């Protein structure tokens, strides 16, 4: 199971929110590059970077940060937040993203998101399936859609999607543990080729082996690292 630390960016700084609420913003470091280098020094190979300004603006904003981290580390970065157009995607990949995550766009413009899968290949496009009460949430989680979580994932699997990041918004940033039952349900009801990446609520190191046993392909860890609930030294034992 891949260990994927998260860096969320507002105003060029490394921050975390609780349940996606921008009013709960807490700045952890002025320099995302410094944080990324700490991850790399611990042997971590992957990074989940979210452009929270972009999610609000509905277009890519913090691509210069992406470019800096991609050019000054060897981390493989998946980048999301506000990617809505072919131009946004072009900028993200040109700036050094290995993969991009599309969430709202997959709900609001199925045609463009499907074209991305076909154009860039399923290894480079991740479906962001972020949900509240098993309904997909969009626009930086500010809005709920009518899309049911599991049928939404199944639909895109039929269109070739392999990687899915699923965040239970109620758990995100709360340090109360991840949605084990939800991930188990998704994996049972999805095609076996699904590479499910768990996100949201990770609070202790002991939760990680449980996610691996469930069959998660990766796990995104944010606040638990920043609040020293899980140390980089502990994560090194899983790499």
Q: What does DSSP assign to residue 153?
A: H
Q: What number is the average pLDDT over the span 160-181?
A: 91
Express each pLDDT in 91-129 by its tens digit: 999 999 999 999 989 999 999 999 999 999 999 999 999
Residues in the chain, total: 239
Which one is predicted more confidently, 22 or 62?
Answer: 62
User: Rounded distance, CA 190 to CA 167, Å?
Assistant: 16
Residue 171 DSSP class: T
- Give the span between the Cα atoms of 115 and 103, in whole angstroms: 14
| Largest distance between two CA atoms of the chain | 43
Q: Which of 8, 51, 53, 88 is catalytic?
A: 8
Per-residue model confidence (pLDDT) at position 1: 97
Mean pLDDT of the chain: 95
The 3 state secondary structure assigned to 84-111 is CCHHHHHHHHHCCCCEEEECHHHHHCHH
pLDDT above 90 for 173: no
Q: What is the pLDDT of residue 138?
A: 82
Is residue 36 within 8 Å of 26, Cβ to Cβ? no
Q: How far, in Å, are 66, 195, 207, 209 from residue 175 at the CA level?
A: 27, 24, 11, 17
Assign 42 a pLDDT band (cuts: 50, 70, 90).
very high
Percent of the chain with pLDDT over 90: 87
Known catalytic residue at 53: no
- Which residue is catalytic, options 88, 130, 168, 172? 130
Task: Please state whether the predicted TM-score (pTM) of the whole model is above 0.85.
Answer: yes
Instruction: Report the pLDDT value the prediction gives residue 142, as an integer from 0 to 100.
Output: 64
**C-alpha distance from residue 226 to each of 14, 58, 117 (Å):** 10, 27, 33
Three-state SS for 71? helix
End-to-end CA distance of the chain: 9
Q: Please state which of the ranges 19-23, 38-42, 46-50, 54-58 shows the lowest mean pLDDT.
A: 19-23
pLDDT at 144 over 80: no
The structure tokens listed for 104 are: 């709202």
Q: Residue 141: its pLDDT value, please?
A: 62
Instruction: Note if 8 is an active site residue.
Output: yes
Q: Assign 215 a pLDDT band (cuts: 50, 70, 90).
A: very high
More confident call, 118 vs 138: 118
Class of domain 2-236: alpha beta
pLDDT for 140 equals 58
Q: In terms of Cα–Cα distance, which of 72, 70, 100, 75 is closest to 85? A: 100
34 has pLDDT over 80: yes
């Amino acid at each position: 199971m891949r260990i994927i630390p998260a860096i969320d960016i507002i105003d060029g700084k490394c921050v975390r929110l609780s349940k996606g609420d921008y009013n709960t913003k807490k700045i952890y470091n002025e320099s995302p590059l410094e944080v990324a280098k700490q991850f790399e020094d611990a042997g971590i190979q992957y990074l989940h970077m979210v452009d929270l300004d972009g999610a609000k603006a509905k277009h890519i904003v913090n691509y210069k940060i992406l470019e800096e981290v991609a050019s000054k580390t060897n981390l493989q970065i998946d980048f999301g937040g506000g990617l809505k157009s072919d131009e946004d995607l072009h900028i993200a990949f040109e700036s050094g993203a290995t993969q991009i995550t599309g969430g709202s766009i997959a709900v609001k413009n199925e045609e463009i998101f499907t074209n991305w899968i076909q154009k860039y290949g399923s290894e480079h496009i991740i479906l962001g399936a972020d949900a509240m009460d098993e309904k997909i949430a969009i626009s930086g989680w500010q809005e709920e859609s009518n899309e049911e979580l599991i049928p939404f994932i199944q639909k895109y699997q039929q269109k070739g999607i392999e990687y899915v990041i699923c965040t239970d918004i109620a758990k995100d940033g709360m340090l109360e543990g991840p949605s084990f039952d939800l991930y188990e349900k998704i994996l049972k009801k999805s095609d076996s080729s699904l590479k499910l990446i768990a996100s949201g609520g990770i609070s202790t190191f002991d939760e990680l082996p449980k996610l691996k046993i469930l069959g998660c392909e990766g796990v995104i860890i944010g606040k638990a690292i920043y609040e020293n609930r899980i140390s980089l030294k502990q994560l090194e034992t899983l790499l």
